[in-house]
Each structure stands twice: as C-alpha cells, then as structure tokens.
Amino acid sequence: MKDYVEFFDTNYLLEIHAAAPSEIRTGIYQKFGKRTLDVVLALLLVPVLAPIVALLWVLVRRDGGSGFFGHTRIGRNNKPFRCWKVRTMVHGAEEKLKTYLAENPEAAEEWARDHKLTNDPRITPLGNFLRKTSLDELPQLWNVLKGEMSFVGPRPIVTAELEKYGTAAETYLALKPGITGLWQVSGRNDVSYNERVAMDMDYAKRMAFGLDLELILRTGTSVVGTTGR
C-alpha cells in the first residue's frame, strides 16, 4: 500500500495546515470505543511484549544509566505527562545537544525546523537500532493503559512545538497523543512538519475504528522497514 502522503498533493496538505482548526469527528467509537480498543489491545500485548521490554532494559542498563527515559510531553487538554521510552541516548544528552547545535549551524536549523536530527550525536549504537525499529517506544503501552495516550493519534510533542501547530494546536490538544498515526506510517523521516500537522488535522476529521485498525496493522510494516528515527 502506498504511503499516506502519496494520496494527497502537498499543497492540499499545507492548505489544511493553514486553515481553521479541524472539526473532530464524534460518535460512539470516538467517545467510548476508542478507549475500549486501547485497553483491550494493551492488555493482550502486555504479556507478549513485557519480556522484550525487560530484555531491552537489561541491555540498556549495561552502561550504568537508567533503562527507561521519561520525557514530559503535552497531552489532551494541555495536560503534561511523562512519555516513556527505552533509553536510547548517552548520559548528559541535553548538554551534548546544546554543544553540538552551537558548533553546527546546519544541525541547529534542522533541530529548529523538525525537532529531530538526521545525525544525532546523543544516540548510542543500540539506541540507533531501537529507534529504527521503534522498539524504544514499547513502554508507551503503560501510557496507553493510564489513559494518557492512545494507540492511534498525533505524535506526543513538547510545549515548544505547539507554536508550530498554529491554529491547529486546538485540534492537537483535543486528542490523545498516539503511539502510531498517519505520520508514523507515511515515511515520517521525509515528511515536513507542516505536512505532519496537516495529517493530525485530517486524522481528527476521519477518526474511526476502521482507520485506527488499518494504521495499527500498517505500523508493523513500518517497524519491519526500520523507518524510525
């Protein structure tokens, strides 16, 4: 199946971003079914994935640091929460980032634009593998069980990124962030931030059981294809 961005002209996506905040689709599934799907699927996956998470925790802990990393993100209704991942970065990652950006203007521009780096000096060799396979995100099952995240939704962002959403910030704050979504299965490394925002708005309009199920299934393909970063 083609990536999502191939179904739409880029100008169309950017027009969505520039438009007024998206209307969020409402109905029985959106009010009750989506949360039911999250809980049932998470409970089914925990026994299968818990041993994998435990093994990754042990491997990451070998350098003496923490096995997990919890970063504050903005959730539904502007409520901050700790988004959990298997740690993929070196000790003192934030200081290393500041130094690197100060010494590399092109990297600083990329960070300001995308909040990601193509070549991130903070990531360990094991962390690079975990990110490419998205295995570092498995602990977010805990966020789903707690009701802070959903399996499908916008990617959780930090406060500084809300400015990039413009008028679409209202739409983002009305949804639970997701482990996966349109951006995650659409060649995320090659999608601009504006297109990513437009996808979040489009998802809000089309949110339904069938779409969520399709995105969850397609996520497995993205993981095998190691599209993460």
Asked if the model's pLDDT at residue 174 lies above 90, the reply is yes
Average the pLDDT over 165-190 and give the result. 86
Tokens of 8: 């739409």
Res 140: pLDDT: 97
Q: Which residue range forms the structural domain that includes residue 188?
A: 4-88+123-224
User: To the nearest whole number, what is the mean pLDDT of the chain?
Assistant: 85
How many residues in total does the chain contain?
229
Question: In this structure, is residue 154 part of a structural domain?
Answer: yes
Distances in Å between the alpha carbon of 164 and those of 167, 180, 197?
Answer: 9, 20, 8
What pLDDT, in 10s, does the model give residues 77-120? 999 999 999 999 987 788 888 888 998 989 888 888 877 888 88
Question: In this structure, is residue 164 part of a structural domain?
Answer: yes
Question: In this structure, is residue 115 part of a structural domain?
Answer: no
Residue 192 is given by DSSP the state -
Question: In this structure, is residue 136 part of a structural domain?
Answer: yes
What span, in angstroms and rounded, lies between the C-alpha atoms of 164 and 143? 24
Question: In this structure, is residue 192 part of a structural domain?
Answer: yes
Question: In this structure, is residue 34 part of a structural domain?
Answer: yes
Number of domains the chain is built from: 1
Asked if the model's pLDDT at residue 133 lies above 50, the reply is yes
φ, ψ of residue 87 to 5 degrees: the values are -60, 130
Question: In this structure, is residue 103 part of a structural domain?
Answer: no
Question: In this structure, is residue 76 part of a structural domain?
Answer: yes
